[in-house]
Structure 1
């Protein structure tokens, strides 16, 4: 099997950066027009990159652990290392992490970013719908994840072009055995260790998309082991998302 197809999931501690898709394939340009590339500064001058997705013209959803300073969002990108005509780069006016986010167990790992100006909707920039109230995914459901993370286990840099992978929803009880901090009421476990597609360092904050709606935000996974990824369950946070967007 060619190395590029080996999609083991090796998650670094989230504060080290976002997860990456290893061994996925390059997405068709602008086939995920809701995707956003997020860059920010941290204490000590370190930079980080995360994924996110546009849910309103002025709001992006991502993971709370992606919080930094001088944050900016790139929309409409396929190759983030190129100056594409489709790209819109907008500074973040306000970051709104969930008030109960716990960096020790990564619970409530969700954050809204209010942009300084509205995104202009184009063929390359579109909103991603949130799940309907009480809508749930079940084990075996096929979903997708996209991001600009690296494409090999030893990659030190993220991918230039957007990558995508297929993830399978896993059974909550099995995930509890793998992740002692897993909370089924607010998290989703996706990505089959028996398969060759998963996520790794470079894509935290990216959406778990099932049936053209976002059901999760990529939060964390295990280090140095083959395992699914853990996503913040959006259905559980719909009231907070809506009230926060209204308030700000």
Structure 2
């Protein structure tokens, strides 16, 4: 199975990420991402948003080109389950575990409404008024839930904020998943406390060294029909670019990161799209896509490569009532 963009940010095989066309593995996303019969078949799929039953209110405008997994995805999901190692369940972080409640105060759970239906994605708070996620998580309307551990409960710690404006990178390419990064401006500033707090971004464009140990968190499926309610996490190792160049023909080491030891059964999968790769308390990557078998390594957007765009964008789009600065 190809890596699916995880919209709900789940970390195991079976997370809630939309399958997007990335590299050369495209599935149901091919049409929604603008691929045609003449387009080269991608071998890696972005983690796609999972369909969701919630009705969304308020948020960004535009149309989401990624839709909910179609009916013919069921056999594919079943195949994923059969490919998992003993003890692993589809939709559960491979090699991961439940995170300590509220130990990741920057995590965001996103409910997205698009022309194709409702889905979910992961993201992370980078400023009181901005959440960062993957560009393939774009939707017509989005609501961000901060301060959550169990996303099926109305926890007192939760803050539900509609998205005022979705800003995908202007050079995002849905056919190869390059520049798979997006900023979401919140309609209201988040109330910062011990349950809700931004994560630090890299200060320079220095590259993270191979061998670095990082954490990925997210919400995903518990089985083929039910998602996990609680935040899951897994520890992954940054790999040399060559590991991904051999597997994904569109991999670009300047703007992407290769993460996950191919000798281990640990990785992000369905439902994890848009979630952060945190290394030393700094968000260094964004879950983007992987291979069809859900085996590591996977490809993450390299946050440090986009620092100038991130700073420029957050400076331009001020809170309502303030002037916008042309880019």
Please say whether Structure 1 and Structure 2 have the same fold, judged by a TM-score greater than 0.5: yes
Answer yes or no: is the 8 Å Cα contact 2:259–2:296 preserved in 1: no
* Equivalent residues of 1:40, 1:69 under 8 A apart: yes
Picking from 123, 139, 152, the partner of 1:81 is 152
Over 3 Å counting, the alpha-carbon distance change for 1:23 and 1:47 in structure 2 is farther
Given candidates 121, 129, 135, the residue that maps to 2:192 is 121
Correspondence 1:186 to 2:255: yes
Please point out which of 116, 141, 150 is paired with 2:221.
Answer: 150
CA RMSD of aligned residues (A): 1.9
Asked whether the equivalents of residues 286 and 303 of structure 2 are also in contact (C-alpha less than 8 Å), the reply is: yes
1:95 maps to which residue? 166
Structure 2 vs 1, CA of residues 162 and 180 (structure 1 numbering), >3 Å: closer, same or farther?
same
TM-score normalized by the length of structure 1: 0.91
- CA-to-aligned-CA distance 1:30-61 (integer Å, 9 cap, x gap): 000000001111213x2111110000000000
Deviation at 1:18, TM superposition (A): 4.0
- How far residue 173 of structure 1 moved from its aligned partner, in angstroms, is 1.1
Post-superposition Cα deviations, 1:196-219, rounded to whole Å, max 9, x if no partner, equal 321110110001100000001111
Instruction: Work out which of the two has the higher radius of gyration on C-alpha atoms and give 1 or 2.
Output: 2
In 1, distance between residues paired with 2:146 and 2:175? Answer: 31
Structure 2's unaligned 5+ residue stretches are: 1-11, 21-28, 30-46, 51-90, 318-327
User: Unpaired segments of 5 or more residues in structure 1?
Assistant: 1-6
The separation in 2 between residues aligned to 1:66 and 1:12, in whole angstroms, is 8
How far 1:110 moved relative to its partner?
0.3
Secondary structure of the residue aligned to 1:93 is strand
The structural deviation recorded for 1:109 is 0.3
Distance 1:63 1:241 in 2: 13
Q: Which residue does the alignment assign to 1:13?
A: 19
- Map residues 44-55 of structure 1 onto 2, 5 A cutoff: 44=116, 46-55=117-126
Provide the secondary structure at the position in 2 that maps to 1:200.
Answer: coil
How many residues align structurally? 239
Higher-strand-fraction structure: 1
Tell me the distance in 2 between the aligned counterparts of 1:64 and 1:77. 22
